[in-house]
Chains A and B, each alone.
Chain A
Amino acid sequence: MQANTIQSNSDFPPELCVKPLAPVGISGLDVINNAIHKSVWEIFSNNRRNEHSPVLFKLIANDHEFPIIKPKRNSYDWYIPKGILKRNWMHKHLYEIPAVMVIFYDLDWSDLQWNEKMIECASRVQSMRAALEGRATRIVVVLIQTTLPLPAGEDTLAAERAVALCASCELNSQSLFVLPHGDHLQGYATRLENAFYEFAQTYYHNEAKTVKSHKEHLNKNSHQYLYVRHQFKLGFLNELKQDIHTAYKHYNHAYENLLEIRIVDTNSLEIRTIAGFINYKICRLLFLLNLARDAISTFKSHIDRFRSRIGFQELAFEHYAWLSKQYAVFGDTFDEAVKLGLPAVQTQHPGIYYQQAAQQAILRKKACKELCSTVIAYPSPDPLEGVSSMEFYGQRPWRPGKVTSEPPDPHLEARGIQAVQYLEKQVNHSNIIIQLYGLAISQYKTYKCPRTRRHLVLEMADECYDSKDYGKALTLYTHMLWDFRKEKWWGISSQVLEKALICAFLTANVQDYIQLALEILGVNTTTSLDDKRRIYENLKKILKKQIPYGHPKLQQDVLQNAIIIWQPAFTANPLHFSLDMANITACIETRARFLKNVYEVDQNVTVEIYIRSTCPFPLSFAKISVTINAPNCNSEFAVTNVDNIALSFHKDEVKKFIIEFMPDPHDINKEIQIDSINIQLGNSTECSVDLRYSSYDESSKNHPELLHFKRSHNGIDFDNVRPLSTATIVPRESKLNISFDHRWPALVGEWYQIVINIINEELFGIRDLKIEVALDEESSETELSLQPTSACKQPLLVNSPKNLDFNGKVSTHFFVRVHKACKCHVTVRVTYTLDSQKAVLSIKTGVIPLTVVEPFEVSTKYLSMLMSEIDRFYVDEEFGVMNYIRFCSPWTICVEDTLLEFNALQVPPGKSAENSIASQIAGRSFNGEEISAELHIATCQKSTDQGSNLGKYSIKWKRENGISTTTEIAIQGLPCYFMPIGLKLSAPAHGFVRTPMLLRYHVQNRSQHLIQLDVVMQATEAFMFSGYKQFVVSILPNSTRTLQYNLYPLIAGSVALPELIMSCNADNDSLGINKDQLNALIHRSLPTHIYVMPQVKGDPKLPDIVANQKIAVTS
């Protein structure tokens, strides 16, 4: 308890640090028994609401006694203040004197016992008023009502009774409130709270006025303390009023007034304390006012002003404690402001102040050590008695309220100092320092100062060491080492290493001791050779299971303790440690590399290990080995066939070791890796230490390419050993002779045969022969197979015998089919095992480049019945399909069959107009650049605007002696239109001069209407003819009319036939046939010429058709 009180000299009282809120007293609520009251109280006291007014609600019982009011002083003439700031004043105004007193009372306007209750309420108000006699506290009545209020002005009863109640309670009407206990309690409560807050502001405004009015009574000579006190009060009251601008102004005045007081030994503590308080308030308000820069500069000048005012030399630690506290509290205030959104920067953040606080705490500790070491006992009688009930802040308990002019009693003074010193001695300074460092470290981390943070951690570790927490210090030291090592600050890291080594010794941490010792012995450390020798000897002792010597500077008792805890560390037998040296720059460096990137599976893998010792003293190892990481198993290979001399190293000696091993055939095509290099120190019967070095990573080096210029001391250039930590195991090279036999280019769509010939040129027979065929890119366009019928899955396993003797031959084949012209590669992979003593898997791969070309191109033309090319079909009109096949491969191709199949499902459905379909080119062979043609007659049965798929043309073909292949080609049709009239001429193939011949014109009506046509047969010189020359033809729906003409040719040769002209009768307009269409129909349907032969000599044989009609032939 006493230790706590002594710290309170520098600590801040809680009432100073709390955010000032106006206290509002609440009475008349029976929170325990009445549920409604309880809910009302909870609503008010729950300050988690967002728009909470800055007021503090406090339940006040009816019989509560408020602090007694002091008698008013009319004159300050004879008043001499005994101190600056009274200890109870802030507490009084924060918690004891309410700014507003609220009396709750259950009363409805329509209550039956209105009069009685009104009187009771009035009496409550009266008694509260009596209790607060002399205070300006505002009294307010709140009626808790169960019925909801009517809108203002409508409820006359309410208005009347409200006036009556106010009168009987002697309240003005603004002090009466109604709280309907219903649904919107929260909203009512918020409004009431705001009203109370306004009252409270008025109250504090008036209080401040009262304090201000004292000023005129003061004089600067005897009332300096009061100037400070009054300004502080004004500041505090304004803070309660939440007027922080004014509050800041007054605190500032208070601070200025304080500085005017002359500081002597007796009041230095008080002035320092109060200055700290006021400065705290000022800085806090400045942060609240968003004036962070001003806050910082105010704080700095405050510190500068008081830094040198130590006061009593005997109590100098108090001064440092105060400084430390000032820094720490400012750090807290700053941090709080940052949390509220103030942006801090790298060079100005709370951590800086925590760091300063820690440094002051260290000074405090030093001062304490100097001053308090002689104090052994606490003086009696207790000079600090009554420390907790002192009237003023910052005064000595042994001379409270003494005015500065009085000379202190030297004896009492000495005892007081002794008491304070004794208590200071009990303080755990290290804890305070470590805590402050902890705060500073986390801040520096936030503000991106990793190196400063590291420095602070080291200082923290020093403090841990100082407080004999060696374990924690060791942890902190070793954690920080890594970064210094990485940035190569060898000077610092050496110092840290030495400290850590002492900690490791004091905690008997054998493993860390060995690791740290190995690092100190390295070349980079700046430790002196003597120290290194001592550490080296100690290391040797540990390896022999002997307790090492401690650092010569350690005190005897500390050494003694350490030796006690070292003993159990050696109990285990044999002692074994494993150290990970990956990130450590120790005195033993290693490199390991493969000699090649790629090893064949039947070759020895060679690993070179280089080891360098930079230890200034000889080191010898028990074992050197390397672990290899392979996908199948990890294995360790030790260096064998070396004697002990080879395993001992002198300073800067580099030795090379070679390890060879056979790779595992399972690792073929996989990567093996040097995982680690292991060095064993000591011997395995007593104490052995395994040092694990991970494979060297070069990226940490700055300019590895420049290391060539570094001078090496002996034969092996260690620095320039380029590590190669991975190698790939590949299959052995095969001596199989593989050739392929095929006739390229391959043709699209054919099953293309490739023959594989294998000759075994190995020295042994082979077994487990496996031939796999695969395409480089798998696609649906390419297929592989063993049979020329169906495709098989990739990769294709080709049939072959399993075994093949020495010099044996084997031949096998497979097929490939490609569906488009391209270039592709087929890979043939031959896997086998050599039939020697050591079964070795071998692989031989052959690639066949394949060119695929089209065997032919197919093009289609459509012809009218007169063999002229057409661009459209007409329904039911016959047309010719002419398919041309252009052979373009270098191979002779034999067409076995062709077939034109019409696609019945497609629109328009085409169909063949022939009775029997037979291929016209079947069985013929074609060479390159030859073209075949084939004509088929077809009709179309439905009209369509677009030419769509008419059918498919299949060609069954093969190479000479090849396998037959069917190629199918879709035939694209033409648009098809409807023509109601069909026209056809039946005529003999040729006529003879002066021999009659018969022409029949078939006119077909394909529509559902009657068609009438005007037909004119034009005369011509070449013929005489009989038949209608000009007439009207009527054709019934879906019928055909035949017009017959007998022609009598007069001239031989290709003679123009008499022209038939048809024109549409006006009645046929509905059919929509115009003249052009009719002409086009005639043009495409009727031949214009006919061959007429010269007259036959003798008795000509008449064509059947003419002969039957018994037309006489005249000569």
Chain B
Amino acid sequence: MAVCVAIIGKDNAPKFFACANPEEELNFQYKVLSSLDIVEEKLNPTVKTSTADLRELYLGMLYSLETHKIYGYVTNTKIKIIIIVDSTNTSLRDNEIKSMFKKIHSEYADVVCNPFYIPGEPITSKSFAMNIKSIMLQA
């Protein structure tokens, strides 16, 4: 299972933040912020890596810390999704992480489709939070 999921807007402002342990939320916020540096650099068009596939939204592992692993995903509208996983958790391989991102992406798409949601504002939908929690626990 993932310990933290964050959705970050294109202006790098947090839209949604979910933690397995809410007391550690601030700590995870710092971790997510740090990983945004890497995401920004990867999205920087001046730094072109030959392997970069424009259609690939999954950015792979951003950081491998002693305690956690951080994965990133960027939608075409530059919405960043970050997943933090415990380092000890070896059951999650790239494929599982990828499918988690896909699920979260489609959940996010549903939220944006909601006419009562104003794009750019933080997501406060309760059902969205529930769905994300269940995705976090499933994997």
A binds B: yes
Residues of A within 8 A of B13 (CB): 487-489
> Within the assembled complex, what's the spacing in Å between the Cα atoms of A488 and B116?
21
CB closest residue in chain A, given B14: A489
Task: Assess A491 versus B34: contact at CB under 8 Å? Given A702-B11, A703-B120.
Answer: no
Most buried by B among A495, A702, A703: A702
Residues of A within 8 A of B130 (CB): none
Do A707 and B41 touch (CB < 8 A)? no
CB closest residue in chain B, given A708: B118
- Contacting chain A: which of B25-33, B50-58, B92-100? B25-33
Do A455 and B30 touch (CB < 8 A)? yes
Q: Within B60-111, which residues are at the interface with A (CB < 8 Å)?
A: 63
**Contact-residue bracket for chain A:** 20 to 34
Do B38 and A347 touch (CB < 8 A)? yes
> Within the assembled complex, what's the spacing in Å between the Cα atoms of A703 and B10?
12
Task: Assess A706 versus B120: contact at CB under 8 Å? Given A488-B13, A489-B14, A491-B25.
Answer: yes
Nearest chain A CB to B22 CB, angstrom units? 11
Q: Within A467-495, which residues are at the interface with B (CB < 8 Å)?
A: 487-489, 491-492, 495
B37 within 8 A of partner (CB): yes
> Within the assembled complex, what's the spacing in Å between the Cα atoms of A124 and B26?
76
Do B33 and A455 touch (CB < 8 A)? yes
> Within the assembled complex, what's the spacing in Å between the Cα atoms of A707 and B17?
23
Do A492 and B29 touch (CB < 8 A)? yes
Do A489 and B29 touch (CB < 8 A)? yes
Do B33 and A495 touch (CB < 8 A)? no
Do B33 and A489 touch (CB < 8 A)? yes
Q: Within B4-28, which residues are at the interface with A (CB < 8 Å)?
A: 9, 11-14, 17, 25-26
Nearest chain B CB to A450 CB, angstrom units? 6
Residues of B within 8 A of A70 (CB): none
A451 within 8 A of partner (CB): yes
Partner of A449, one of B12, B34, B118: B34
Nearest chain A CB to B12 CB, angstrom units? 5
> Within the assembled complex, what's the spacing in Å between the Cα atoms of A710 and B26?
28
CB closest residue in chain B, given A487: B12
Do A491 and B26 touch (CB < 8 A)? yes
A452 within 8 A of partner (CB): yes
Residues of A within 8 A of B26 (CB): 491-492, 495
Do B118 and A451 touch (CB < 8 A)? no
Interface code B112-128, partner A: CB below 8 Å = 1, 0 otherwise? 00001011100000000
Partner of B37, one of A449, A492, A702, A706: A449
CB closest residue in chain A, given B116: A709
Partner of B9, one of A347, A702, A707: A702
A612 within 8 A of partner (CB): no
Give the number of residue pairs across the A-B interface with Cβ within 8 Å. 58
Most buried by B among A451, A491, A709: A451
Nearest chain B CB to A808 CB, angstrom units? 63
Interface size on B, residues (CB 8 A): 22
Residues of B within 8 A of A449 (CB): 34, 37-38
> Within the assembled complex, what's the spacing in Å between the Cα atoms of A203 and B38?
51
B36 within 8 A of partner (CB): yes
Task: Assess A706 versus B119: contact at CB under 8 Å? Given A487-B12, A488-B14, A492-B26.
Answer: yes
Nearest chain B CB to A495 CB, angstrom units? 6
Do B118 and A452 touch (CB < 8 A)? no
Do A703 and B119 touch (CB < 8 A)? yes
Nearest chain A CB to B19 CB, angstrom units? 11
Nearest chain B CB to A320 CB, angstrom units? 15
A448 within 8 A of partner (CB): yes
Residues of B within 8 A of A452 (CB): 33-34, 37
CB closest residue in chain A, given B11: A702
> Within the assembled complex, what's the spacing in Å between the Cα atoms of A488 and B13?
5
Nearest chain B CB to A490 CB, angstrom units? 8
> Within the assembled complex, what's the spacing in Å between the Cα atoms of A676 and B33?
34
Partner of B118, one of A346, A454, A489, A706: A706
Task: Assess A448 versus B41: contact at CB under 8 Å? Given A702-B120, A706-B118, A710-B118.
Answer: yes
Do B120 and A492 touch (CB < 8 A)? no
Nearest chain B CB to A451 CB, angstrom units? 4
Do B33 and A454 touch (CB < 8 A)? yes
Task: Assess A491 versus B29: contact at CB under 8 Å? Given A703-B119, A706-B119.
Answer: yes
Partner of B34, one of A451, A489, A707, A709: A451
Most buried by A among B11, B33, B63: B33
> Within the assembled complex, what's the spacing in Å between the Cα atoms of A449 and B40?
9
Q: Within A651-702, which residues are at the interface with B (CB < 8 Å)?
A: 701-702
Most buried by A among B37, B118, B120: B37
Do B29 and A707 touch (CB < 8 A)? no
CB closest residue in chain B, given A492: B29
Residues of B within 8 A of A450 (CB): 37
> Within the assembled complex, what's the spacing in Å between the Cα atoms of A491 and B12?
14
Residues of A within 8 A of B30 (CB): 455, 492
Nearest chain A CB to B137 CB, angstrom units? 23
Nearest chain A CB to B121 CB, angstrom units? 8
> Within the assembled complex, what's the spacing in Å between the Cα atoms of A489 and B29?
9
Residues of B within 8 A of A454 (CB): 33
Residues of A within 8 A of B40 (CB): 448
Do A487 and B11 touch (CB < 8 A)? yes
> Within the assembled complex, what's the spacing in Å between the Cα atoms of A489 and B15?
9
Partner of A451, one of B9, B37, B63, B119: B37
> Within the assembled complex, what's the spacing in Å between the Cα atoms of A831 and B116?
57
CB closest residue in chain B, given A704: B120
Do A709 and B29 touch (CB < 8 A)? no
Do A448 and B37 touch (CB < 8 A)? yes
Nearest chain B CB to A536 CB, angstrom units? 24
Nearest chain A CB to B66 CB, angstrom units? 9
Do A346 and B41 touch (CB < 8 A)? yes
CB closest residue in chain A, given B64: A347
Interface code A335-369, partner B: CB below 8 Å = 1, 0 otherwise? 00000000000110000000000000000000000
Residues of A within 8 A of B38 (CB): 346-347, 449
> Within the assembled complex, what's the spacing in Å between the Cα atoms of A451 and B6?
16
Residues of B within 8 A of A491 (CB): 14, 17, 25-26, 29
> Within the assembled complex, what's the spacing in Å between the Cα atoms of A495 and B27?
11
Residues of B within 8 A of A455 (CB): 30, 33-34
Nearest chain A CB to B48 CB, angstrom units? 15
> Within the assembled complex, what's the spacing in Å between the Cα atoms of A703 and B118?
9
CB closest residue in chain B, given A455: B30
Nearest chain B CB to A498 CB, angstrom units? 12
Residues of A within 8 A of B36 (CB): 451
> Within the assembled complex, what's the spacing in Å between the Cα atoms of A921 and B53?
87
Residues of B within 8 A of A346 (CB): 37-38, 41
Residues of B within 8 A of A489 (CB): 13-14, 29, 33
Interface code A483-523, partner B: CB below 8 Å = 1, 0 otherwise? 00001110110010000000000000000000000000000
Most buried by A among B9, B30, B63, B116: B30
CB closest residue in chain B, given A345: B41
Q: Within A438-477, which residues are at the interface with B (CB < 8 Å)?
A: 448-452, 454-455
Task: Assess A707 versus B11: contact at CB under 8 Å? Given A347-B63, A451-B33, A451-B34.
Answer: no
Residues of A within 8 A of B34 (CB): 449, 451-452, 455
CB closest residue in chain A, given B34: A452
Residues of B within 8 A of A347 (CB): 38, 63
Residues of A within 8 A of B29 (CB): 489, 491-492
Residues of B within 8 A of A487 (CB): 11-13
CB closest residue in chain B, given A453: B37
Do A492 and B11 touch (CB < 8 A)? no
> Within the assembled complex, what's the spacing in Å between the Cα atoms of A67 and B77?
74
**Given A452-B33, A495-B26, 20 other A-B contacts at CB below 8 A?**
A346-B37, A448-B37, A448-B40, A450-B37, A451-B34, A452-B34, A452-B37, A454-B33, A455-B33, A488-B11, A489-B13, A491-B26, A491-B29, A492-B26, A492-B30, A492-B33, A701-B120, A702-B11, A702-B119, A706-B119
Could you show 10 A-B contacts with beta carbons less than 8 Å apart?
A: A448-B41, A451-B34, A451-B36, A452-B37, A455-B34, A487-B11, A488-B14, A491-B25, A492-B33, A703-B118
| Among all A-B residue pairs, the 4 with the closest Cβ atoms | A702-B120, A488-B13, A449-B37, A452-B34
